[in-house]
Amino acid sequence: MKLSREEVLRIARLARVGLTDEDVDRLREQLSDILENFEALKQVDTTDVPPTTQSIPLQNVTKDDEVAPSLSQEQTLANAPRKEGEYFRVRAVLE
């Protein structure tokens, strides 16, 4: 089963990735090809098998809430593409 153009565009929208028409055509082929390889998983019996999200036996790791050195405002803003005074500058969210 090949992904439709609409499906590729829907995923791109969810991922917020802009694509050219050429990208969409190429990704239709390549993603379909990869997804076809995933079909193999259907052969595995996973009845009563719990999922594993990570491989170590740690849970709910916490630490004391203590004041410690952290990045300065200047350091935090140093890589910002746009800034204004003490703030990151973003585009209007509501138009």
Partner 1 sequence: MITQLTIHEAHGLLKSKKLSSMELTKACLKRIKEVEPRLKALVSVTGELALKQAEKADQRIAAGDINPLTGIPVVLKDVLCTKGVRTTCSSRMLENFVPPYDATVVEKLNNCGAVTLGKANMDEFAMGSSTEHSAFFPTHNPWDLDRVPGGSSGGSAVAVASDEGIFALGSDTGGSIRQPAGFCSVVGLKPTYGRVSRYGLVAFASSLDQIGPLTKDVTDCALVMNAIAGFDDRDSTSVPEPTPDYTKCLSTDLKGLKLGVPKEYFVKGMQPEVESAMRAAIAKLEGLGAKVDWNVSLPSTPYALAAYYIIAPSEASANLARYDGVKYGFSYSDADSMWDAMEKTRQFGFGDEVKRRIMLGTYALSAGYYDAYYLKAQKVRTLIRREFDQAFAKYDALVTPTSPTVPFKIGEKTEDPVQMYLSDVCTLPINIAGVPALSIPAGFGDGLPIGMQLIGKPFGEETILKVAYAYEQATEWHKMRAEIK
User: What's the closest the beta carbon of residue 86 comes to partner 1, in angstroms?
Assistant: 14
The whole-angstrom separation of Cα 35 and Cα 8 is 13
- Please state, in angstroms and rounded to a whole number, the distance separating the CA atoms of residues 5 and 32: 11
- Which parts of this chain interact with partner 1 (CB under 8 A)? 8, 11-12, 14-19, 23, 27, 30-31, 33-35, 37-38, 40-44, 46, 49-56, 58, 61, 63, 71, 75-76, 78-82, 88, 90-93, 95
- CB of 46 or CB of 86, closer to partner 1: 46
Distance CA 46, CA 39 (A): 14
Measured over the CA atoms of residue 19, residue 22, residue 26 and residue 29, the dihedral's sign is positive
Shortest Cβ 23–partner 1 spacing (Å): 7
